[in-house]
Chains A and B, each alone.
Chain A
Amino acid sequence: MGVTMKKVYANADEALDGLLKDGMFIAAGGFGLCGIPELLIDALVRNGVKDLTIASNNCGVDGFGLGKLLDTRQIKKMISSYVGENAEFMRQYLSGELELEFNPQGTLAERMRAGGAGIPGFYTKTGVGTVIAEGKDVKNFDGQDYILERGIVADLSIVKGWKADDTGNVIFRKTARNFNPPAAMCGKVCVVEVEEIVERGALDPDNIHLPGIYVHRIIQGEHEKRIEQRTTRKREEA
């Protein structure tokens, strides 16, 4: 090929080599099981790194996605907006084995985006007057109360894209984009897994969803892409 692709690694284990340590803070992309970094999660399981704090909208389901890291007790704390699909999560949380910080979904996304954009805090009206506001600074702007939320900066981001080039420019597909770009932005180091690494120039520069500056390591691999709720309609009879 003639070009050294410094960001491209052979597999998920090599892509995470040297990046993992117990107690670290990881931001993960995905919504439900859609657009989750399956390969990197499997590599975290194989590595055995533990006491993880993970910011992710959800925590997978029993036995798949981030649920795998619950089964192996590698997660100490989750920062999420919705964890209703996972019985093992409930069990560990109710027994006190797992810490949980609920964030409203938009607040979580903005915390990631802000952290990655150099914004340590922002005011939002989401959660004013609810338990989410407890202990947070309240400020009135133009007659409306807002609460202070902090930007997130993670030690590591794990992200799933559709296609990338070797410089780390990434595009996503349909609703599998979701939390992946903000999660990518907020990591000190960001590792992206994609379905296909393409030649430079194959991606339209006007349609890059995540510019390569945010991406440090890339792998390509096969994804299961499990469907959480398979809903269909009947074809009208001819």
Chain B
Amino acid sequence: MAWDRNQMAARAAQELEDGMYVNLGIGIPTLVANYVGDKDITLQSENGMLGMGPFPYEGEEDPDLINAGKQTITELARTSYFDSATSFGMIRGGKIAAAILGAMEVAENGDLANWMIPGKLVKGMGGAMDLVAGVGRVIVVMDHTNKAGESKVLKACTLPLTGKSVVDRIITNLGVLDVVDGGLKLVELADGVTEEEFRAATEATLVN
């Protein structure tokens, strides 16, 4: 037993508080928006929008209104639009309270790798490097292990970094970890996961 994608997103949504401006990455992080409930959260889309609304009804798609994943979206009463330089000014300037994003690898010192696999995947970092360098709190949501069953929670990243010592909290299908002095601290186990199972799937140093 462990958390599925939606349960991971629901757990990540618990990190968000009233009044926060938040940037959600592509994949599971996008699902977090479904679980914010009554909390007053403003979603930023780094292509130039604050106050991102849900997908449009069929037939109401607007080619001039997309999110950073290039998906058609809608605006809200609170929405504002701006150019990319202004958008990354608010990111780099620390105005965005939190970013929730996916990862290929996370290390015990908070290093994050999520943009490139040399020789295989060469798509680019998009806004990820700016986000992890600039926002108040970086929360990673990812599977604890890869398809081969190897830990993605490592002593040191093997892939090119997106950011150095940038991650604050890691939410995986097995539980929740915080980056602290000397390694990672187990905060919470997912439903039905034992501490032994969690430790066996974790390469990084766990500290108390």
B-binding residues in A (CB < 8 A): 31-35, 57, 80-85, 90, 93-94, 100, 102, 104-107, 109-110, 112-113, 124-132, 162, 172-182, 209, 225-235
> Can you name the residue of chain B whose Cβ is closest to the Cβ of A111?
B85
Which residues on the A side are within 8 Å of B62 (C-beta)?
Answer: 174
Q: B163 contacts A174, CB within 8 Å?
A: no
A132–B92 Cα gap in the complex (Å)?
Answer: 16
Looking at A106, A176, A227, the one whose CB has the most chain B CB atoms below 10 A away is A106
Please state if A174 and B122 are interface contacts (CB–CB under 8 Å).
no
- Quick check: A232 and B56 within 8 Å, CB to CB? yes
A131–B160 CB distance below 8 A: yes
B133 engages A175 (CB within 8 Å): no
CB within 8 A of A230: which of B45, B72, B87, B161? B72
From the candidates B83, B133, B165, name the one contacting A178 in the complex (CB within 8 A).
B83
Closest CB of chain A to B112's CB: distance in Å?
10
Residues of A contacting B126 with CB < 8 Å? 81-82, 105
Instruction: List B contacts of A181 (CB < 8 A).
Output: 83, 85
For this complex, 29 residue pairs linking A to B, each with C-beta atoms less than 8 Å apart, are A32-B66, A100-B122, A102-B125, A104-B128, A106-B46, A106-B84, A106-B87, A106-B88, A106-B89, A107-B88, A110-B92, A129-B163, A130-B129, A130-B161, A174-B49, A174-B62, A175-B64, A175-B65, A176-B64, A179-B83, A181-B83, A181-B85, A182-B84, A227-B66, A229-B66, A229-B71, A232-B57, A234-B58, A235-B58
* Cβ–Cβ < 8 Å partners of A230 in chain B: 61, 72
A48 to B58, alpha carbons, bound, how many Å? 40
Q: Given A34, A84, A104, A124, which contacts B47 in the complex, CB threshold below 8 Å?
A: A34
B134 within 8 Å of A (CB atoms):
yes
Q: By the criterion CB–CB under 8 Å, are A175 and B45 in contact?
A: yes
Q: Are B127 and A182 in contact (CB under 8 A)?
A: no
User: What A residues does B73 contact at CB under 8 A?
Assistant: 231
Q: Which residues of B contact A (CB under 8 A)?
A: 45-49, 54-58, 60-73, 75, 81-85, 87-89, 91-92, 111, 122-130, 133-134, 160-165
Which residues does chain B contribute within 8 Å of A126, judged by CB atoms? Answer: 92, 129-130, 133-134
A104 / chain B contacts, CB cutoff of 8 Å: 125, 127-130
Residues of B near A105 (CB, < 8 A) are 46, 84, 88, 125-127, 130
Q: Which 7 residue pairs are nearest across A and B when measured between Cβ atoms? A: A106-B88, A129-B164, A84-B123, A106-B130, A82-B124, A109-B84, A104-B129
- Contact assessment for A178 and B84 in the assembled complex, using a CB-CB cutoff below 8 Å: yes
A31 vs B127: C-alpha distance when bound (angstroms): 12
Q: In the complex, what's the smallest C-beta–C-beta distance from A8 to chain B, in angstroms?
A: 23
Interface of B is mostly: loop
Partner of A130, one of B64, B71, B123, B163: B163
Q: Is B84 in contact with A82, judged by CB distance below 8 angstroms?
A: no
CA A100 to CA B125, docked complex, whole Å: 13
CB of A113 to closest CB in B, whole Å: 4
What is the bound-complex CA distance between A162 and B81, given in angstroms?
A: 14
Q: Are A174 and B127 in contact (CB under 8 A)?
A: no
Q: A231 is contacted by which of B64, B71, B164, B165 (Cβ under 8 Å)?
A: B71
A83 to B133, CA, bound (A): 22
Most buried by B among A80, A85, A109: A109
Q: Which of A84, A90, A174, A233 contacts B65 (CB 8 A)?
A: A174
* A226 contacts across to B, CB distance below 8 A: 63
Q: How far is the CB of A161 from chain B (nearest CB, A)?
A: 11
A109 B70 Cβ-Cβ under 8 A: no
Looking at the assembled complex, report how far the CB atom of B139 sits from the nearest CB atom of chain A, in whole angstroms: 19
Contact A82 B125 (CB under 8 A): yes
- The CA of A132 and the CA of B128, in the complex, are separated in Å by 13
Q: How far is the CB of B76 from chain A (nearest CB, A)?
A: 12
State whether A31 and B47 are in contact (beta carbons under 8 Å apart), knowing that A81-B124, A126-B130, A130-B160 are contacts in the complex.
yes
Instruction: Quote the shortest CB–CB distance from B122 to chain A (angstroms).
Output: 7
Are A130 and B85 in touch, CB under 8 angstroms?
A: no
> Is B55's CB under 8 angstroms from A233's CB?
yes
A175–B162 touching, CB < 8 Å? no
Closest B residue to A181 by beta carbon equals B83
